[in-house]
Amino acid sequence: MHEKCGVVGVSLADRAAARPLYYALYALQHRGQESAGIITHDGFQQHSHVEMGLVGDAFDPADIASLNGSNGIGHVRYPTAGSVDSSCAQPFSVSFKSGSLGLSHNGNLVNAGALRDELAGLGHAFTSDGDTEVIAHDLARNLLDSGLVEAVERTMGKIHGSYSLTVMHDDRVLGLRDPQGNRPLCLGELEDGYVLASESAAIDALDGELIRDVRPGELVVLDPDGSGYSTYRLTTLDHTAHCFFEHVYFARPDSTIDGKLVYEVRRELGRKLWAENGIDTDVVMPVPDSGRAFASGYAEAANENEGSVEFAEGLMKNRYVGRTFIMPTQDERERAVRLKLNPITSTVEDKTVTLIDDSIVRGTTSTQLVELLRDVGASEVHLRIGSPAITAPCYMGIDMATREELIAADRTVEEVRETIDADSLAYLSPGAIADALDTERDDLCMGCITGEYPYDIDGEPTDRPVRQPVIADD
Ligand code: AMP
């Protein structure tokens, strides 16, 4: 399961939650395009609308009007290659003896199987193979004999992996971030209530104010009348495991995540890329849009030091082509890159070019682009990448390809350069990422570049002393 998603929750004084949730999901659309959903609660009952497709297609005005109540949660789900499965669309909802529950999950549990087996043994029936349903059932069970905070704490003691959740228990909206804070989640204030969202750009879309990030291991409970919130730090660990790739690629550049504006982080990474591996060429150009902030920081640093690098757009992006990454075959992925990006001849012809992107995963994009730039007359093509080489899969929720598909998994930098056919290739160092984020390497999840993970994943080494909880009937 690769659940790289966007979550939101709002509690308002006396306004329907559906429309603000809908706008927030629009702002989080980049985090998931497979399905979109909203669940609200009107004080008596839940209302739900979950549909496959983009936010704009999933809801019509009648759907929004039918979602009554001033409290609610929403979700956008990331597409995975292969089958599109509506049973995994979210928010997930379940009614049980002590009320109704709705869950929106971003992340990936690594012990969902064990927990599912335990709950199935106790008579719980599951309708999907997703890990969110497992969390929902465990929480529902705990709520039968515990108060809300204690029930969440008990569930938290059993689940292992990355999760940022917005949850609705009857009309109460909560936000929960895993003890290592892998996936982002933040809290904001609106004129007439409060909001929890994966990224602050969703709070901006509602004219709200970002209050702060939800802390790792923290539960935030919104008052159903929109008047305030309570917070509970349920666990505190020595180190966090924030996902650096949110800053590099996934999050919107206009979002603030864990106290840092993503755009500024990317520009700083670009500056460091120049400092570590700058090369003098006629022109510096980004791969749009993923390389843009990196390239502007890189060119700025180059000009401070050398004086005369031209920063130009050399590739035009067709914004109507979806993500090439999720195309099922290599042939289709290559075709899609050519459809998506077309060169601007005047900036490329007879020039030495530095092409900047955030990351190389399978190598499809960079191989295609180097060839394309050479075809239109670039005399040299140098690649500079704003993150370290990705050599291992992500188990924490980013759809990153398997180890066999990763171009750098079993190649040296020189071998990758050769495969891509660039004149030179350089990546950014892991240390530069930690520096740009003003943090320690130990506080970041770098599993995809080191192959060692901050979670206890079957068959993989860990980078810190972590253990899956022992699952036993309590
Ligand atoms: P690839 O062509 O497989 O090497 O993928 C690299 C390109 O895809 C870069 O332009 C990245 O900006 C982008 N990318 C990186 N990670 C992901 C991801 N998890 N999902 C979709 N696109 C990605």
Q: What is the pLDDT of residues 163-178, one digit of tens each?
A: 999 999 999 999 999 9
C-beta of 249 in contact with ligand 1 (< 6 A): yes
Determine the distance separating the centroid of ligand 1 and the alpha carbon of 32, expressed in angstroms. Answer: 14
Angle at 398 (CA atoms; ends 395, 402), nearest 5 degrees: 60
Q: What is the pLDDT of residues 28-77, one digit of tens each?
A: 999 998 899 999 999 999 999 999 999 999 999 999 999 999 999 999 99
Give the ligand 1 atom nearest the CA of 357.
10
Q: What is the pLDDT of residues 341-368, one digit of tens each?
A: 999 999 999 999 999 999 999 999 999 9
Instruction: Catalytic residue, from 3, 4, 5, 152: name it.
Output: 5
C-beta of 323 in contact with ligand 1 (< 6 A): yes
Q: What is the pLDDT of residues 102-150, one digit of tens each?
A: 999 999 999 999 999 999 999 998 888 888 999 999 999 999 999 999 9
C-beta of 131 in contact with ligand 1 (< 6 A): no
Q: What is the pLDDT of residues 286-311, one digit of tens each?
A: 999 999 999 999 999 999 987 778 99
Q: What is the pLDDT of residues 403-421, one digit of tens each?
A: 999 999 999 999 999 999 9
pLDDT of residue 1: 45
Cite the residue boundaries of each domain of the chain with CATH code 3.60.20.10.
6-241
C-beta of 360 in contact with ligand 1 (< 6 A): yes
Q: What is the pLDDT of residues 245-289, one digit of tens each?
A: 999 999 999 999 999 999 999 999 999 999 999 999 999 999 999
CATH pick for 6-241 out of 3.40.640.10, 3.20.20.70, 3.60.20.10, 1.10.150.20: 3.60.20.10
Q: Is 60 exceeded by the pLDDT of residue 474?
A: no
Best residue among 244, 247, 249, 394 to mutate for probing ligand 1, ranked by most atoms within 8 Å of CB: 249
Does the active-site annotation cover 186? no
Helices (H), 287-383: 292-305, 330-340, 345-348, 364-375
Cite the residue boundaries of each domain of the chain with CATH code 3.40.50.2020.
262-450
Does the annotation flag 448 for ligand binding? yes
Determine the distance separating the centroid of ligand 1 and the alpha carbon of 367, expressed in angstroms. Answer: 12
pLDDT of residue 127: 85
Cβ atoms < 10 Å from Cβ of 57: 10
Q: Is 80 exceeded by the pLDDT of residue 401?
A: no
Q: Is 70 exceeded by the pLDDT of residue 79?
A: no
Are the C-beta atoms of 106 and 5 separated by less than 8 Å? Answer: yes
Q: How high does pLDDT run on average in the chain?
A: 93
Determine the distance separating the centroid of ligand 1 and the alpha carbon of 360, expressed in angstroms. Answer: 6
Give the ligand 1 atom nearest the CA of 362.
3
C-beta of 359 in contact with ligand 1 (< 6 A): yes
Confidence of residue 425 (pLDDT cuts 50, 70, 90): very high
Does the annotation flag 290 for ligand binding? yes
Cβ atoms < 10 Å from Cβ of 440: 10
- For domain 262-450, say whether CATH 1.20.1740.10 is its number: no
Are the C-beta atoms of 181 and 218 separated by less than 8 Å? Answer: no
Q: What are phi and psi of 437, to 5 degrees?
A: -90, 0
Task: For helices 131-143 and 148-156, give the axis angle rounded to 10 degrees.
Answer: 140
C-beta of 325 in contact with ligand 1 (< 6 A): yes
| Bond from prior residue into 289 cis (ω within 30 degrees of 0) | yes
Confidence of residue 84 (pLDDT cuts 50, 70, 90): low
pLDDT of residue 397: 83
pLDDT of residue 83: 47
Containing H/E element for 380?
A: strand 380-385
pLDDT of residue 81: 44
What are the angstrom distances between the C-alpha of 204 and each of 110, 188, 197, 201, 225? 33, 9, 11, 5, 21
Q: What is the DSSP letter of 453?
A: B
How far is Cα 453 from Cα 450, in angstroms, rounded to an integer? 8
Q: Is 50 exceeded by the pLDDT of residue 8?
A: yes
